[in-house]
Structure 1
């Protein structure tokens, strides 16, 4: 887990295949908060789960609760992305007293979302396992992020520097890909997600926590209109979309997203230039 800053605690939960380090460019801009970015089970350096027979939603609630208990926090704000978005929604539904406010970055893993091409190939048994064993390169990372809507970011030369270094290290020096392929093949086939394994959209109406949806208009997992409907189904949901942004929209506009999150959670950061 990455732990930085002081102030109001915020727990960040990533999607996949990914790790906690994906949040550093965003969390590092959030002055006035204690930012806690956790590696989901099987990602980064964390231990994996065995998914056969497992209630994934319940397991993700237990993981997040264990993190909060270990740190002594009764209540935190949550930021989730993709499958991490489903994780924070499961927690808010199961233990509302432990959740302050929620920010959802990009389409969360909600029943009805589409399967993007990069995950569709990983969902094919032997092919997915073969891809998980391959050594990643900058070109492979660029192709993957282009497939999830980040073409504009790629055209600006991303990834480079620290972003490139940690991305390659995660892919090549940890078992993240192998473990995440296990999860993907449990919840999806090449045709799409299996029914009943993602967050049930009917549960959105039962979540009282104020929730801010920040959506990339080039997100291939769900259309903007679907995101607006999901947000509107919540008692305290608000929605904003960003042009030329993909499934992980803070990567495209980190300063803008930091300002939006800080304002929503009750603090300020300098306005982006």
Structure 2
């Protein structure tokens, strides 16, 4: 096993400093994925078992194999590999993994023997090379002093995505349930997203869970970006925040996109005792999952977001949720979302609005989309043939979704 700098293809990996670069441009990689990559490279002469990776990268902390799968996917993506090609990192069934790319050792200048470390320069945390891969993470402060982390990805006209259920912007784009969103939404435009207070890289000390708190987070990001007018997209819970923001800040929002969205939380929209009981049970199951960190409860919750996805995608979602916030904050978010109600603001939205929803959405019923369409003055409702709350990359509805969004945003050039 040799420590130092290793060159493979067009990449340089400094396993001492924990630094990956390409053509002298540093590539930020999520710390555990980078540690995994470094360990595989240092031990490239042998197969590394799953148990060894879990013990080395997570240092004895209990995590599921889904966390390892996510880190492995992130490492592969950082060096232009994937599970199908396995050009650089090969999976050997029932044995483990091995780094197989030819490489050239380069003398390292840092002291040998130290563990890989990823520094966090401020205020920018992450930077990528160009086009849709160009990304930077910065911080700003809301009016009450809460620190909000936001990411800017791609080039072109801006599109802001409101925070939705427990994001973490530094790893989100490497997760299969979200990665295709970045490829689609950053095409010829700049995507701006953020972690709301209490989750991700934003402050956890001020976990406010009111619409006013969430609007303040968005205001902080818009002010930091120095944007006057922009299109806004809200996904799921983020749709309620986007709707409220468009109604209360009409001078700022040029177009509004609501996908899988709702104005009323499940407890609010329950129409009878049966629906109220079902809403209460759903909340109790999710609450119990968070408080006990029981995988079966959390997996059931995850399955509602992508009903037709493979079970490993649910496990990936569970692993991502666990990295976003504490159990205490997670429960507070759940209870706030069940009771949110911004429906009284819908008629005040004045910008053109596109409402997209899956016909058989298993998390938010399509009736909520129709309710939004009946209340927002200038809107178009598009129903997709899908059961998924968050569309997958492989289903036909995803291409339809992107087509409608691109067509809708293209109208900015002629109408605004």
Instruction: Give the TM-score taking structure 2 as reference length.
Output: 0.51
* Secondary structure of 1:28's aligned partner: helix
Shift in alpha-carbon separation, 1:159–1:75, aligned structure 2, 3 A:
same
Kindly indicate whether residue 325 of structure 2 is the aligned counterpart of residue 175 of structure 1. Answer: yes
Which residues of 2 match residues 1-273 of structure 1 at below 5 A? Answer: 1-20=150-169, 21=172, 23-30=178-185, 31-48=187-204, 49-51=206-208, 56-110=210-264, 112-113=268-269, 120=280, 123-124=283-284, 130-135=288-293, 143-148=300-305, 150-154=306-310, 159=313, 164=316, 167-175=317-325, 177-186=327-336, 188=338, 193=339, 197-199=340-342, 201-249=343-391, 253-266=397-410
Instruction: Give the TM-score taking structure 1 as reference length.
Output: 0.75
Give yes or no for contact 2:254–2:351 (8 Å, CA) kept in 1.
Answer: yes
- Looking at structure 1, the residues matched to 387 and 248 of structure 2 have their Cα atoms a distance apart, in angstroms, of 31
Partner of 2:39: none
Higher RCO (CA < 8 A, seq sep 6+): 1
RMSD (CA atoms)? 3.2
- Looking at structure 2, the residues matched to 117 and 217 of structure 1 have their Cα atoms a distance apart, in angstroms, of 23
Structure label with greater radius of gyration: 2
The structure carrying a bigger helix percent of its residues is 1
- Looking at structure 1, the residues matched to 278 and 192 of structure 2 have their Cα atoms a distance apart, in angstroms, of 28
- Looking at structure 2, the residues matched to 182 and 5 of structure 1 have their Cα atoms a distance apart, in angstroms, of 33
Alignment gaps of 5+ in structure 1:
268-273
Give yes or no for contact 1:106–1:215 (8 Å, CA) kept in 2.
Answer: yes
Alignment gaps of 5+ in structure 2:
1-149, 412-416
Q: Deviations over 1:84-132 (max 9, x none)?
A: 11111111111111111111111324265458999745744xx755522
Shift in alpha-carbon separation, 1:11–1:118, aligned structure 2, 3 A:
farther
- Looking at structure 2, the residues matched to 60 and 172 of structure 1 have their Cα atoms a distance apart, in angstroms, of 21
CA-CA distance at 1:158 after TM superposition = 5.7
Shift in alpha-carbon separation, 1:134–1:40, aligned structure 2, 3 A:
same
Shift in alpha-carbon separation, 1:43–1:136, aligned structure 2, 3 A:
farther
- Looking at structure 2, the residues matched to 209 and 113 of structure 1 have their Cα atoms a distance apart, in angstroms, of 25
Give yes or no for contact 1:170–1:176 (8 Å, CA) kept in 2.
Answer: no
> What is the number of residues matched between the two proteins?
246
- Looking at structure 1, the residues matched to 347 and 334 of structure 2 have their Cα atoms a distance apart, in angstroms, of 27
